[in-house]
Structures are given as C-alpha cells and as structure tokens.
Amino acid sequence: MHALLSDSRNIRITQMTGRVTAKRLDPVDQLLLILPQRPKAAHWNVIPGGAKLMEAARKRDHGAVPAVQSRLSNKRQTLVVGGTLDASDSRFEQLSFARKLVAAATQEKGGCLAICVIGFAQDDEQRIVENILAAVLAAGFAMPSYKSKAAPSGIRKVRLLGLAEAIDTRRVEAESNGNNLARWLTTMPPNKLDAVNYAEIVRAIAKDRNWEYKRFGSKELEKKGAGAFLAVAQGNENDSASIVRLRYRPGSRKARADLSLVGKGIVFDTGGTNLKPFRSMLDMHADMQGSAVALGTLVAIADLELPLAVDCWLAITENRIGPAAYKSRDIVTAANGKTIQTIHTDAEGRMALADTLVFASREKPRLIIDYATLTGSCVDAITTRYSGIFTNRAALHPRLKRTGQHCGERVWPFPIGSEFLDELKSDVADLKQCTVKGLGDHIIAASFLAEFIEGDTPWVHVDLSSGENDGGLAHIPSKVTGFGVRYTMSLLLDDNILEQAL
C-alpha cells in the first residue's frame, strides 16, 4: 500500500527558468513543446534546432495534434512532440489537448520528459504548464497490472523548461495523487479489492497519514438502526460490509467538521435479486468509484495541508444474490427512522448512502458532498462527458456549473424537491426506494437521498456519469477517470464553496 501512495510522487519535477539550451535538453527523452496557434519563427527558434521543427510542422495537417513530431540532433535524439493552442481555449479543451500530446510522446518509452511552453503571456504560460503537467502525472502513474511480466518503467523525471519564473506545482501534484489513488482503487479487480480488503487498505492509509479511523461493522450498524445499508449488505455470505469514517484534523481533534465527504463503495454489484444482465454486470467492480473519489479528495486536501476539518464516510459492501439477499417489496427502516419499501434491488446505491448521509449530517458539518456511480439515467441524460450535480441549495447551481467549466471536470445541475417525491409515495411505508418506470431516475434518486440529510445541512450530490469514459476524459488517459477530486478541490480553493453554501 505504501508503494501505491508513493508511486505518483516518484516522478521528480525540476524547473528551469531562462533560455532553453542544448545542454538542458541533453538528458531529455521526450520534449513537449507548446506554442501559440500561429507561432512565429522566433518562437520556434527558442529551441535548439527550431528551424527544423518549424519545417516539419509545415508538412503536417493544420490543426493536427501533435502539430509536429520530430527529433533533435543531440546525443539522446530527443523526440519533440509539439502542438499549438489558443490561450483562450476552455480548461477542458486545454486538458484534452494535453492528454493527446502526452499520449503521442509516451508511445516511446523514456524516463525523462520535458515541458516547454513558448510565446504566451506569463499568466497563460503558468496555466498551460499546469494543465500539461497534470496530464503527464496522470499518464505517468502505473495503474494496477497483474501480468506475469512487469511493464517497463515509464516517466520518472519531468523538467519544466523556459519558464519566465518558477511556479508552485504543489496543487497539481496533490490533485494528481488523489486522482491516481481513486483510479487505482477503482481499477482493482473484485477478488483483489473485496469489502474486507478495501477497509484494510483505507485503515493503512489512515495510519500512514495519522487520520482517525473507525470501522462500523454489521453489529454496530444494527444498533445504530442502519436498516437501509444492511438491507444491501445482508446478501453477503460473511460479515464483510462496513461504513468507514475517517477524520482529518490539522487543528483540534475535537473540531466540528467543515466538510464531510461521502462515497458509495459497492465493491461489486450483481444487481442483487433483480440480477443484472452480463454486459451491465461486467465492470461492476467499479461501482465503488464514489468512495474512491471521496478518499482521493481527502488525500489531496491532506497533501496540501489545508486548514479544514474533514470527515470522510465510505459505505463499503457488495450487492450480492443469494438466499439472504433483500427483495422487492421488503420494508426496511433507515437510521433516521424512515421506512422504505424496496422496489428494485439494483437501486442499492441510494440505500447504502441513505444511512451514511444520516450519520454524516448528524455530525453537523458545514457542507456534505457525496459521490456515487448512482444511476444509468444520468448517463442517458448527459452522456459520460459530464457528471450530474444536485443540491439542497438551488442558488448554488450557477456556481457549481461554473466551477466545472473553470477546472475542466464539467457538471450539469438538475433539480430535486418534494414534487419528485410524489413518485415515491408508498401505501405501506414512508417512501419507495425508486419508481417502477425509472423515468428521470437520477432526479428521483437525488430527491430520495435528500430525505436523509438531517438539520438542513448544505449538501451536494455528484452522480458520476463521467466516472468512466472510453478513451479517457480531459487530461486523464484511462477509461476510469477519477472524476471529482479535481472538481472538489476547485470548489474549495477557487470558489470558496464552504462560505457560499451556508
């Protein structure tokens, strides 16, 4: 586990201001060269051998990424992969450009990669360097592999060349560490990351970082009345399910949480008694991605030593089929005393989160954010390029959407409210778990979850419809995107969401 946490940090970053000399390029295996859309000869000539690169660029299709792919005439025969962009491009466009550029460069193995941004204003230069570096740190991270032959080592050193002045890369590195952890956990196969192993991995991380760790097992959850979570867990053949609480306290250990992060951690989802078909079940080891994002966000917060008191709640279980598994029309009682009539056992995420949100909100944090791969209807509504976002503070919608545009992890707001609860009226319980028809299920599910937020605590729910996207998304090269870590850090650091949510 310690090797995992240090893996992304093993990429050493060095910065060099001033001229890009031949000597500075000698150790470089691949050079990423970023220029304005209409680069001048003077821009190319900042790099030794720039005239040759400019000529190579003229032979490629206009607008191609990369715009140039050539070699320097030095001892290492440095591969130069260059591209042009407009500084006014959106953050998502710049991050996507960075992913493509890095992919072209890393088709060839090498240990030292350099980034050089030329011809932009200083503020634009810094932002572009940060975007490219984020893509490099994502691509350079080793995802889980169980092949008999180990893959050759990838990027080990990154050089930032030609800077007007040194930049602070701590935030990019922290967000990358959190995202890499989220993607690594989500990609692990289900026999390697079962509910017991997951809780142990989290415990090891907490111990390593001096966080408070508490695991609530089935017996304790029974005493706490967590009937919704336990309904999902009762199909497991062992007592493996748990709700794990982590506490990060840079100040007083007794401080009330500023922020509570909550994650759905269904380590494998069969659909339960209402069994999923093969294609729908194939990748259901990734149904715990919400919890991985919550954990990865906490890692990023801790890496930056943010002066916030943060709780992290992970609802960890499987959703199994078997004689003891819960069924349609069962009646269960959640931790807040509300009774739920189950309708479809594959709507297990909202059940597991319901009790977890009760426990989180009873701690009276200033804000709760939960993450879950919750509904297929959210994918149907906005595809896998955006994630859905919901809140009990409707005035936050413009800000939540704007944050996504600003950081490149884009979200689309949806309404919730009592009008949607009309769909969940039950003759025998306080509310149904879901509807039979499933229309607008992402909205219905979020409205259901809102019923388990106590004390009118400000709350944001992220339905991770972009948790997986074929070919990667923005700067992330893998299908599993780890969406949410970067977004949450932007909410905290760029948009001061803790003040706005009150």
pLDDT at 457: 97
| Gap between the Cα atoms of 186 and 241, Å rounded | 17
Q: Where are the domains of the chain?
A: 2-167, 175-500
The CATH fold of domain 2-167: Leucine Aminopeptidase, subunit E; domain 1 (3.40.220)
Q: What is the band of 405 on the pLDDT scale with cuts at 50, 70, 90?
A: very high
pLDDT beyond 70 at 432? yes
- What's residue 501's pLDDT? 65
Confidence at 2, pLDDT banded by 50, 70, 90: very low
Query: Could you tell me what percent of the chain has a pLDDT over 90?
Result: 85
Residue 63 has pLDDT above 80, yes or no: no
Sequence-distant (6+) residues with CB within 8 A of 318 are: 194, 195, 233, 235, 236, 240, 241, 266, 267, 268, 269, 270
Find tokens 């709700």 and name the residue. Answer: 243
DSSP helix/strand/coil, 381: helix
Residue 350: active-site member: yes
> Which pair of structure tokens corresponds to residue 360?
């989180």
Say how many C-beta atoms besides its own lie within 10 A of residue 156's C-beta: 14
Residue 128 banded pLDDT, cuts 50, 70, 90: very high
According to the model, what pLDDT value does residue 1 have?
Answer: 42
Question: Which of these is catalytic: 183, 350, 410, 432?
Answer: 350
Q: At what angle do helices 397-407 and 485-493 cross, to 10 degrees?
A: 110
Q: Are strands 331-333 and 79-85 parallel, antiparallel or unpaired?
A: unpaired
Q: Which strand (E) or helix (H) includes residue 479?
A: none
pTM reported for the whole predicted model: 0.96
C-alpha dihedral, 490 to 492 to 497 to 498, nearest 10°: 170
The distance of Cα 82 from the centroid of its chain, to the nearest Å, equals 28
The strands making up 79-85's β-sheet, listed across from edge to edge, are 12-17, 157-163, 112-117, 30-36, 79-85, 68-71
Spatial contact of 413 and 389, defined as CB atoms under 8 Å apart: yes
- pLDDT band for 5, please (50, 70, 90 cuts): very low
CA 487 – CA 131 distance, rounded (Å): 14
**Residue 6: is its pLDDT beyond 80?**
no
Catalytic choice (171, 276, 399, 401): 276
Grouping H, G, I as helix, E, B as strand and the rest as coil, residue 95 is helix
* Distance, CA of 425 to CA of 434 (rounded, Å): 10
- β-partners of residue 212 are 247
- Reference 236, options 314, 315, 323, 343; nearest CA is 323
Q: What is the pLDDT of residues 268-321, one digit of tens each?
A: 999 999 999 999 999 999 999 999 999 999 999 999 999 999 999 999 999 999
* Beta-strand runs (E) in 149-297: 157-163, 212-216, 242-248, 259-269
Q: Which two tokens stand for residue 382?
A: 């906005």
276 is catalytic: yes
State the Cα–Cα distance between residues 155 and 497, nearest whole angstrom.
35
What number does CATH give the domain 175-500?
3.40.630.10
Cα–Cα nearest to 259, from 250, 272, 269: 250
